[in-house]
Amino acid sequence: MATGMNEGSMTHPSRAAIWPQASGEMADLIRAHDWSATPLGPIEGWPQPLKTMVGTILSVPQAMWVGWGPEFIQIYNDSYRQLLDAERHRSALGRPASETWADTWSLAGPQLESVLGGGPAIFHADQPIAYRRDGEIREHYYTSSFSPIPDEAALQGVGGVLCVAAETTPATLLRESEERFRAIVETATDYAIFTTDPEGRIETWPPGAQKVFGWTANEAVGQPADITFTPEDRQAGQPAKEREEALATGQAPQRSLARPQGRLARLHRRGGPADCWVRQWTDRFPHGGSGCDPMAGRGGAAAACH
């Protein structure tokens, strides 16, 4: 039976009607969410500045979050989703930020309200924030910003706040660890802790190294780190053996050397940007001076890092 319609004239949902048009987990969740049950209402009624911003954050790899309106109703992208544990994610999309982030709202809330009220954008570098994640309260570090999203129809001309975030916890903790280590190196007087270049030549010679070995920085820098071993150990290839073992296992075994001085040596490897070895001996020695064997008949402590 003829209907007066052919396949070409049939009505199909247009690509533009499926919004957001982005792909990914959060785009799917946004399309499937019952927005009519939220203060934002159905997507069809969203203000254009909000739709434009949501489309933007879904198209970029940087972690981004939008808090819209006075309740900061939350919408975020896949990268921001990775910053949330499963429990917080379940209570975030389409919900007021004060509910999802109740444990940090005393910190974030006033800042978001300030930006929404027409205040300037806010930026934090490596900010420590303690909150529950994966069932455990820990301190995490973030570099983030809160920026206003313009909307002429909104109060103060700001419809919401855009947050751009990056977790910097590993890098921050590593930097703090390196700073603590540097402080130890610079203040240590009972241990010689120094750095070498990839070829094993001494690059730095802190006060502790000078006190232990007796050489000044001018005398030691540029010399091979192997000079901190005895001539016998150098001839036997002991420096290379201990470095190889420390690199492979984290430290060379503690060993008592069968010598009259009864020295005790131990080699450690320090992870991170520098690989550092610490060698310890049980007794001290007086100033050796340039050109002397620092270990001959003497004890001390030394470290090499590169």
Instruction: Average the pLDDT over each of 19-33, 196-210, 245-259 and give the range with the smallest value.
Output: 245-259
Domains of the chain, CATH where assigned? 17-167 (3.30.450.20), 176-305 (3.30.450.20)
The residue type at 288: G
In this structure, are residues 100 and 88 in contact, taking their beta carbons and an 8 Å threshold? Answer: yes
Q: Which residue has the higher pLDDT, 138 or 184?
A: 138
Instruction: Measure the CA–CA gap between 66 and 79, rounded to whole angstroms.
Output: 13
Is this structure's pTM higher than 0.75?
Answer: no
Burial of 281 (0-12, 13-18, 19+ CB in 10 A): buried
Q: CA 200, 206, 207 angle in degrees (round to 5)?
A: 140
DSSP string for residues in 236-278: TTHHHHHHHHHHHHSEEEEEE-SSTT--EEEEE-B-SSS-EEE
pLDDT tier at 221, thresholds 50, 70, 90: very high
pLDDT, average across residues 10-16: 45
Q: What is the mean pLDDT of residues 89-116?
A: 96
Closest by alpha carbon to 160, among 264, 218, 231, 74? 74
Q: Using one digit for the tens of pLDDT, what is the confidence trace for 263-285?
A: 333 444 444 444 444 444 333 44
Query: To which residue do tokens 């916890």 refer?
Result: 169
* Geometric angle at alpha carbon 102, from 98 and 103, rounded to 5°: 150
